[in-house]
Chain A
Amino acid sequence: MDAKIPAGPLSEKWSNYKSHARLVNPANRKKMSVIVVGTGLAGASAAASLAEQGYKIKSFCFQDAARRAHSVAAQGGVNACKNYKNDGDSIYRMFYDTIKGGDFRSREANVYRLAECSASLIDQSVAQGVPFAREYGGYLNNRSFGGVQVSRTFYARGQTGQQLLLGAYQALMRQVNTGRVSLHTRHEMLDLIVIDGKAKGILARNLETGEIERHAADAVILATGGYGKIYYLSTLAMGCNASAIWRAHKKGAYMAGVSWIQIHPTCLPQSGEHQSKLTLMSESLRNDGRIWVPLKADDNRNPNDIPENERDYYLERRYPAFGNLAPRDISSRAAKERIDTGHGVGVMKNAVCLDFSKAIKEQGEKVIEEKYGNLFSMYEKITGINAYKQPMLISPAAHFTMGGLWVDYTLMTNIPGLFALGEANFSDHGANRLGANSLLQACVDGYFIAPYTIPDYLAGELKAEKITTDHPAFDEAEKKAKQQLNNFLSVKGKLSADYFHKTLGKLLYDKCGLARNKKGLEEAIEEIRNLQQQFYRELNITGDDKVNTELEKAGRLADYLELAELMCEDALSREESCGAHFREEFQTPEGEAIRNDKDFCYVSAWEWNGADQPHILHKEPLLFESVELTVRSYK
Chain B
Amino acid sequence: MKIFLKIWRQETREAKGEMKNYVLDDVTEDMSFLSMLDLLNEKLIAAGERVVEFDHDCREGICGQCGVMINGQAHGPLPHVTTCQLHMRSFNNGDTIYVEPFRAKSFPVIRDLKIDRSSFDRMIQAGGYISASTGQAPEANSIPISHKTAEAAFDSAACIGCGACVATCKNSSAALFVSAKITHLVLLPQGKIEADERVRKMIAQMNEEGFGHCSNTEACEVECPQQISVLNIARMNWEFNKGGFL
Q: Is the CB of B137 within 8 A of A126?
A: yes
Give the size category of A's interface with B: 35 or more
A121 to chain B, nearest CB (A): 9
Provide the residues of chain A in CB contact with B28, threshold 8 Å: 272, 274
Q: Is the CB of B145 within 8 A of A494?
A: no
Query: Does A48 belong to the interface (CB within 8 Å)?
Result: yes
Provide the residues of chain A in CB contact with B3, threshold 8 Å: none
User: A175: nearest residue on chain B (CB-CB)?
Assistant: B125
Complex formed: what's the CA distance from A127 to B42 in Å? 47
A529-565: contact bitstring with B at CB < 8 Å (1 yes, 0 no)?
0000000000010111011111000000000000000
Residue in B48, B65, B111, B143 whose CB lies within 8 Å of A542: B48
B200 to chain A, nearest CB (A): 14
Q: Is the CB of B120 within 8 A of A65?
A: yes
B76 to chain A, nearest CB (A): 12
Query: Does B116 belong to the interface (CB within 8 Å)?
Result: yes
Residue in B38, B111, B126, B191 whose CB lies within 8 Å of A177: B126
Q: Is the CB of B130 within 8 A of A64?
A: no
Residue in A49, A185, A447, A550 whose CB lies within 8 Å of B118: A185
Q: Is the CB of B157 within 8 A of A67?
A: no
Q: A163-B157, A498-B42 are in contact. Are A277 and B59 (CB under 8 A)?
A: yes
Segment from B50-58, B93-101, B213-221, B231-239 that makes contact with A: B50-58
Query: Does A134 belong to the interface (CB within 8 Å)?
Result: yes
Q: A139-B144, A540-B45 are in contact. Are A381 and B85 (CB under 8 A)?
A: yes
Complex formed: what's the CA distance from A237 to B12 in Å? 26
B141 to chain A, nearest CB (A): 5
Complex formed: what's the CA distance from A82 to B142 in Å? 13
Q: Is the CB of A70 within 8 A of B46?
A: no
Q: Is the CB of A550 within 8 A of B45?
A: yes
Provide the residues of chain A in CB contact with B138, threshold 8 Å: 123, 127
Residue in B87, B135, B158 whose CB lies within 8 Å of A382: B87
Q: A68-B63, A162-B160, A173-B121 are in contact. Are A126 and B190 (CB under 8 A)?
A: yes
List B67-92 residues whose CB lies under 8 Å from chain A: 78, 81, 85, 87, 89
Query: Does B110 belong to the interface (CB within 8 Å)?
Result: yes
Query: Does A208 belong to the interface (CB within 8 Å)?
Result: yes
How many residue pairs link A and B with beta carbons under 8 A? The number is 222
Query: Does A601 belong to the interface (CB within 8 Å)?
Result: no
Query: Does B228 belong to the interface (CB within 8 Å)?
Result: no
Interface of B is mostly: loop
Q: A63-B63, A381-B81 are in contact. Are A157 and B154 (CB under 8 A)?
A: yes
List B106-137 residues whose CB lies under 8 Å from chain A: 110-111, 114, 116-118, 120-121, 124-126, 128-135, 137
List A39-75 residues whose CB lies under 8 Å from chain B: 45, 48-49, 52, 63-68, 70, 72-73
Q: Is the CB of A542 within 8 A of B141?
A: no
User: A74: nearest residue on chain B (CB-CB)?
Assistant: B62
Provide the residues of chain B in CB contact with A138, threshold 8 Å: 144-147
Q: Is the CB of B89 within 8 A of A384?
A: yes
A381-402: contact bitstring with B at CB < 8 Å (1 yes, 0 no)?
1101000000000000000000
Residue in B120, B140, B149 whose CB lies within 8 Å of A140: B140
Query: Does B165 belong to the interface (CB within 8 Å)?
Result: no
Provide the residues of chain B in CB contact with A272, threshold 8 Å: 28, 30-31
Q: Is the CB of A280 within 8 A of B60?
A: yes
Query: Considering the complex of A and B, which 10 residue pairs feature the smallest CB-CB distances, nearest first?
Result: A138-B144, A170-B129, A127-B137, A543-B50, A127-B132, A547-B111, A123-B137, A131-B154, A134-B150, A126-B140
CB<8 Å pairs between A and B, sample of 14? A49-B135, A63-B63, A64-B65, A68-B57, A126-B137, A129-B130, A132-B150, A170-B124, A237-B59, A238-B58, A272-B28, A276-B38, A277-B59, A496-B42
B residues with a Cβ closer than 8 A to A are: 12, 28, 30-32, 34-35, 38-39, 41-42, 44-46, 48-51, 53, 55-65, 78, 81, 85, 87, 89, 110-111, 114, 116-118, 120-121, 124-126, 128-135, 137-141, 143-147, 149-151, 153-154, 157-158, 160-161, 184-185, 188, 190-191
A residues with a Cβ closer than 8 A to B are: 45, 48-49, 52, 63-68, 70, 72-73, 82, 84, 120, 122-129, 131-140, 156-157, 159, 162-163, 166, 169-171, 173-174, 176-177, 183, 185, 208, 237-239, 271-272, 274-277, 279-280, 378, 381-382, 384, 447-448, 451, 494, 496, 498, 540, 542-544, 546-550
